[in-house]
Structure 1
Amino acid sequence: MRILVLQGSPNTNGSTAMLAGEFARGAREAGHAVDIVDVDGLDIAPCTGCVACGFGGPCALSDDMDDLRKRILGSDMLVFATPLYYFGMTAQLKIVVDRFCSANPSISGRHLKSALLTVAWNDDDRTFKALEAHYDTLVGYLNMRDCGRVIGGGCGTPAMTRRSRHLKEAYDLGRSL
């Protein structure tokens, strides 16, 4: 299986990257090909809502999303990796998700597998609810199949993450595929 991890943290060596790395290690050990894309390093403009794509492409904008779209459509699984920013995904990852608009039929027709990797300092009952609801809606809308999630509460710093159970959970999720 070809797995594409969309790593949405602006901290390339932070807790989210640690989870993504462990997930990838487990998935590779299970025999899968894994690419991690640091979306913060890409030049991707926000969707303008022009609808020139007709919700099926091509997008009127020309930037790094052109290549990323091809990589998404060449994958069997998308992994959304993001720290929690005000109860949602980062703006860097949200821009990418918004630009799915021009590829909706192509993405939904692939019936991709998906997973969510996320971290936050907080770990109370409401911390991840909005992000998980958004992820669930996205997965349903795009005909993806959720294969699991790592909800990394109490991972506000890399040191906290290293001491948590969540790195092993990410590894185990990747290995289980």
Structure 2
Amino acid sequence: MKIVVLEGSPNKHGSSNLLADQFIRGAEEAGHTVEIIDAAHADLHPCTGCIYCGYEGPCVQKDDMEQFRKQILNADMMVFVTPLYYYGMSAQLKILVDRFCAINSSINRKHMKSALLAAAWNADDWTFESLESHYRTLVRYLNLDDQGVVLGYGCGTVSMTKHSPYPDKAYELGRSV
């Protein structure tokens, strides 16, 4: 299976990307091919809502999305990876997700698999409610097959994350898909 990991953290060595690394390790050990889209460090512009794409591309903007489009549509699974910023996904990942406007139908027809990996400093039981709700809406809207979610409660630093159960959970999720 081809997996594309959509990383949304501006901190390349942060907690959410640590979870992504462990997921990737597990997925590759299971025989899958993995590509990473680093949305936080890409030349990627917000959707303008101009609908030039007609909801199925191409987009009028000339940035990294054209390459990402190919990677996403060649994949069998998308893994959304984000730190929790103000109880939602990072703006960097949200820009990428908003640009799905030009590939909605293609994603929907593929019936891709998906997963969510996220990390947050906060450890309250309600911390991830909004992010999970948004992810579940994407799963439903894009006709994705949810394979699992790893939510790293209390993972504000890489040190905290490394010593938590969440990297192992991300690894096991990668191995299981």
TM-score by length of 2: 0.99
RMSD: 0.6
Residue matched to 1:76: 76
Moved more, 32-41 or 140-149: 32-41
Report the alpha carbon displacement of residue 52 of structure 1 after superposing the two structures with TM. 1.1
SS at match of 2:4: strand
Percent identity of the aligned residues? 59
* Paired position in structure 2 for 1:4: 4
Amino acid at match of 2:92: Q
Q: Which 4+ residue blocks in structure 1 deviate beyond 6 angstroms? A: none
Give the number of equivalent residue pairs: 177
Alpha-carbon distance in 1 for matches of 2:175, 2:36:
16
Deviations 1:56-98 (A, max 9, x none): 1111111100100110000000000000000100010000000
Partner of 1:14: 14
Query: 2:88 is aligned with what amino acid?
Result: G
Give 1:91-110 correspondences, 5 Å limit: 91-110=91-110
| 1:55 alignment partner in structure 2 | 55
Question: Post-superposition shift, 1:35?
Answer: 1.3
Which runs of 5 or more structure 2 residues have no equivalent in the other structure? none
Q: Is the 8 A contact 1:20 1:36 kept in 2?
A: no
Match of 1:126, as an amino acid?
W
Q: TM-score, normalised by structure 1?
A: 0.99
Distance 1:66 1:43 in 2: 11
The gaps in structure 1 that reach 5 residues or longer are: none
Give the residue type in structure 2 aligned to 1:47: C
After TM superposition, the structure 1 = structure 2 runs for residues 1-177 of structure 1, keeping only pairs within 5 Å, are: 1-177=1-177
Question: Can you list the C-alpha shifts for 1:97-152, whole angstroms capped at 9, x where unaligned?
Answer: 00000110011111100000000011112100000000000111000000001010
1:100 is paired with a residue of what secondary structure?
helix
Q: What letter corresponds to residue 42 of structure 1 in structure 2?
A: A
